[in-house]
Amino acid sequence: MGIPEPRRESLMPHAAPSKPTQWLSRLSPIAFGVYAGLMAFGVYFAMYAFRKPFAVADFTGLTAFGMDYKIALVIAQVVGYALAKMVGVKVISELPAHRRVAGILAQIALAEAALVLFALIPAPWNVACLFLDGLALGMIWGMVFAFVEGRRQSELIAAILCASFILSSGTVKAVGEWVLLQGLNPFWMPAASGALFTPLLLACLYGLSILPEPDARDIAERIERKPMDAAARARLWSRYAVGLTGLILLYVMLTALRDFRDNFSAEIWREVGHGGQAEIFAWSEIPVSMVVLAALGCTMVFRDNRKAVAANMVLVGLGLVMAGGASLGFAAHRVGSVSWMILLGAGLYLAYTPFNGILFDRLVASGGTPGNAGFMIYLADAFGYGGTILLLLVRNLPEFHLSWTHFLIEISLATSGLGLALLIFAWSWFDRRLSQADQPVPAL
């Protein structure tokens, strides 16, 4: 028998829900998923305006501490971001729900302050401000995802949310390019771009804050989500350590490739003949987001959590094949430059996005023990951004001074080949491990 559809009310004692929350509780499951996804999308989309616009500025000729100034900026921000992810392994997994909104607002305020200091402090010393910017923003994803995990519509919500970091990076860089074309100093452009997106962030954060808690049917299908202390995190790690190690190593390579394509897209577009076209940063990512959104949304059809984990692994594999195939085609002059960047992006994000919530959300649900996906997401991220730092340090070595385009081709091919081997290893291990666990989802 199916489980009767309950009213969407929190199972934990708290104050009476507000009228907007009561209204949301009466929406159909799909309408609720679209609403929650759009609110989460808006918050994370706006966050990128405080993180990525600096990447579009041309700092040619500047150096910092013996390296290219742009590379120094990217490394500084990524180090801060990675450090925040390490702290987030504990903070996000333990964070109570009532502190999420304040946490997001505090991080955004600190990031904007860091960008103002970036404009005020002369180069190269202002590199430290990008470190502070990354440090300030590194836990926003976990706080946003905590609003939406553990729901029957989590795939739909997460697919819309994940589209944000595909579309947003190109969009905010297009805005940054537009701001530069208005004559603003490149060092002030990042702070100005962030300020432009603040109203959107505040409006969507309010929309997230009024979401009702997961209801009885959500919990029956996806397991109750609750903070995890050190003992709970240790139990989860010991249970999945072998498979998670394989997935994390794959994620390290995907993160490094994704960040390189993202942070140096301006240089790559210039090399392939599309420099000075602000709109290309945004419109080239639209088909990428459409492919990923459709593919991730399809995983909603899997009620069985173990089958859903397998489906996510298939998407990762398809993404790796697509990314590697696109680079092979471009290197062989069978694929044009714009098509290459779009196909590479589609494959890359198809492989990358399941790690940012959907895959780990289903792993928690398949385990049958109350917890949250934030722990595994931030564990993977803490190592993932270490891969970005290592790749940038390698790129700065004299023997690796290939063009930006050729370097991207090389690392995309390496990631596709090695990534497929790691995926097969992790997939086979999880298939055996999860087959031993009782599935908590009732047959409907």
Domain ranges of the chain: 25-435
Question: How crowded is residue 226: how many other Cβ atoms within 10 Å of its Cβ?
Answer: 14
Question: How crowded is residue 17: how many other Cβ atoms within 10 Å of its Cβ?
Answer: 17
Determine the pLDDT at residue 15: 53
Bridge partners, residue 371, by sequence:
225
Determine the pLDDT at residue 369: 65
Determine the pLDDT at residue 205: 97
Determine the pLDDT at residue 341: 92
Distances (CA, A) of 199 to 30, 47, 50, 291: 27, 11, 13, 29
Torsion of CA 174, 73, 343, 46, to 10 degrees: -50
Whole-angstrom distance, CA of residue 196 vs CA of residue 109: 14
Determine the pLDDT at residue 10: 38
Name the token pair of 208.
């997230």
For 225, list phi and psi in degrees, rounded to 5: -100, 130
pLDDT tens digit at each of 444 positions of the chain: 344 444 443 333 445 678 888 888 888 888 998 999 999 999 999 999 999 999 888 887 888 988 889 889 988 998 999 899 889 888 888 888 889 999 999 999 999 999 999 999 998 999 999 999 999 999 998 899 888 888 888 778 888 888 887 788 788 988 998 999 899 999 999 999 999 999 999 999 999 999 998 888 877 777 777 778 888 888 888 888 899 999 999 999 999 999 899 878 888 988 988 776 767 777 888 888 888 888 877 877 787 888 888 899 999 999 999 999 999 999 999 999 899 999 999 999 999 988 877 788 888 777 766 667 778 888 888 888 888 888 888 887 777 777 889 999 999 999 999 999 999 999 999 888 877 654 443 332
- Cβ neighbours of residue 374 under 8 Å, at least 6 residues apart? 88, 92, 93, 95, 142, 145, 146, 149
230-263 and 374-395 are packed helices; what angle lies between their axes, rounded to 10 degrees?
40
Q: What single letter denotes the amino acid at residue 182?
A: Q
Classified by CATH at the fold level, domain 25-435 comes out as Growth Hormone; Chain: A; (1.20.1250)
3-state secondary structure the chain: CCCCCCCCCCCCCCCCCCHHHHHHHCCCHHHHHHHHHHHHHHHHHHHHHHCCHHHHCCCCCCEECCEEHHHHHHHHHHHHHHHHHHHHHHHHHHCCHHHHHHHHHHHHHHHHHHHHHHHHCCCCCCHHHHHHHHHHHCCHHHHHHHHHCCCCCHHHHHHHHHHHHHHHHHHHHHHHHHHHHCCCCCCCHHHHHHHHCHHHHHHHHHHHHCCCCCCHHHHHHHCCECCCCHHHHHHHHHHHHHHHHHHHHHHHHHHHHHHHHHHCHHHHHHHCCCCCCCCHHHHCCHHHHHHHHHHHHHHHHCCCHHHHHHHHHHHHHHHHHHHHHHHHHHHCCCCCHHHHHHHHHHHHHHHHHHHHCHHHHHHHHHHCCCECCHHHHHHHHHHHHHHHHHHHHHHCCHHHCCCHHHHHHHHHHHHHHHHHHHHHHHHHHHHHHHHCCCCCCCCC
Determine the pLDDT at residue 92: 86
* 312 closest CA partner among 269, 261, 250: 250
Name the token pair of 417.
């080949």
Residue pair 419/347 in contact by the 8 Å Cβ criterion: no
